[in-house]
């Protein structure tokens, strides 16, 4: 399934070039990651991965693929690069395509699409203009076909409901059709957004947290980082 730019360029914007993109983001089930990679590699794409064990264990959730022409595709299995840092639960239907973009390529439902946009934006240190446009335009899709109760339930379970509600309140002030009831509902959700501060800080803070809080996956991540520091190379440095 296409997420973020490649989806929105086809479903929200008047033409593909109207939505700037530096890469193409695709969402796959964890069990489909290897098969998806083989499809790309059979066409000459090269994987820039953080180490196969870190991917297959679910320690990290992203695989970068580069075409011979330099086009970048990212295969995601989770909205967070380190899934162990996600403060709540994801909806069961996240990996179920609900919209068709082109043959063989689907997209998330509009509630799930807006949730992904909000979660991604919340982890950024600074939000660039097109992220706000994406969120505001996706609000219009929900207002036209419903989906706000579903979105609020998912965001509440994610632990990021109040933080996402603040972003929705901002686009509502700019004229986006966000129901007041949705903002009230999100403001009353449990708030676990303290995880966002180190994610935004970057500079190794997310990696350190994942190593400390990731259980046995964190141990493997810490070992990989130690190898990289000692030998100056390793699975976390793409070649």
At 70 the pLDDT is: 92
The answer to whether the CB of 112 falls within 8 A of the CB of 94 is yes
The answer to whether the CB of 171 falls within 8 A of the CB of 135 is yes
Q: Is 179 domain-assigned?
A: yes
Whole domain around residue 140: which residue ranges? 2-196
> Rounded mean pLDDT of the chain?
90
Q: What are phi and psi of 138, to 5 degrees?
A: -65, -30
Residue 238 CB partners (closer than 8 Å, separation 6+): 48, 49, 50, 64
3-state secondary structure of 26: strand
Q: Is 213 domain-assigned?
A: no
Residue 111 CB partners (closer than 8 Å, separation 6+): 142, 147, 148, 150, 151, 154
What is the pLDDT averaged over residues 148-168? 96
Q: Is 38 domain-assigned?
A: yes
Q: Is 236 domain-assigned?
A: no
Distance CA 85, CA 119 (A): 13
At 239 the pLDDT is: 42
At 233 the pLDDT is: 64
Q: Is 238 domain-assigned?
A: no
How much of the chain, in percent, has pLDDT values that exceed 70?
97
Enter the pTM of the model.
Answer: 0.89
Dihedral over Cα of 227, 232, 124, 113: its sign: negative
The 10s digit of each residue's pLDDT in 74-101 is 999 999 999 999 999 998 888 888 899 9
The 10s digit of each residue's pLDDT in 98-140 is 899 988 899 999 999 999 999 999 999 888 899 999 999 999 9
Q: Is 42 domain-assigned?
A: yes
Distance CA 70, CA 55 (A): 23
Residue 201 burial (CB count, 10 A): 11
Number of domains in the chain: 1
At 177 the pLDDT is: 95
What CATH number is attached to the domain comprising 36? 3.30.460
Q: Is 31 domain-assigned?
A: yes
Burial of 217 (0-12, 13-18, 19+ CB in 10 A): buried
Indicate the pLDDT class of residue 49, thresholds 50, 70 and 90: confident
Q: Is 101 domain-assigned?
A: yes
Q: Strands 62-66 and 24-27, how do they pair?
A: unpaired
Indicate the pLDDT class of residue 235, thresholds 50, 70 and 90: low
How much of the chain, in percent, has pLDDT values that exceed 90?
62
């Amino acid at each position: 399934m296409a997420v973020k730019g490649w989806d929105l360029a086809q479903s929200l914007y008047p033409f593909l070039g109207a939505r700037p993109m530096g890469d193409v983001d695709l969402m796959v089930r964890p069990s489909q990651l290897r098969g998806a990679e083989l499809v790309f590699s059979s066409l000459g794409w090269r994987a820039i991965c953080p180490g196969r064990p870190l991917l297959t264990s679910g320690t990290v959730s992203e695989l970068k693929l580069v075409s011979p022409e330099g086009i970048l595709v990212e295969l995601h299995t989770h909205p967070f690069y380190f899934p162990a840092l996600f403060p709540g639960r994801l909806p069961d239907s996240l990996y179920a395509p609900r919209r068709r973009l082109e043959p063989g390529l689907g997209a998330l439902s509009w509630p799930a699409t807006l949730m992904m946009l909000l979660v991604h934006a919340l982890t950024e240190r600074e939000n660039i203009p097109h992220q706000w446009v994406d969120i505001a335009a996706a609000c219009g899709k929900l207002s036209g076909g419903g989906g706000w109760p579903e979105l609020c339930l998912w965001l509440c379970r994610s632990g990021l409901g109040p933080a996402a509600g603040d972003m929705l309140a901002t686009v509502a002030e700019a004229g986006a059709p966000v129901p007041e009831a949705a903002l009230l509902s999100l403001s009353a959700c449990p708030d676990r957004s303290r995880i966002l501060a180190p994610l935004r800080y970057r500079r190794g803070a997310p990696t350190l947290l994942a190593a400390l809080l990731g259980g046995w996956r964190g141990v493997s991540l810490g070992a990989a980082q130690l190898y990289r520091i000692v030998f100056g190379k390793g699975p976390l440095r793409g070649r």
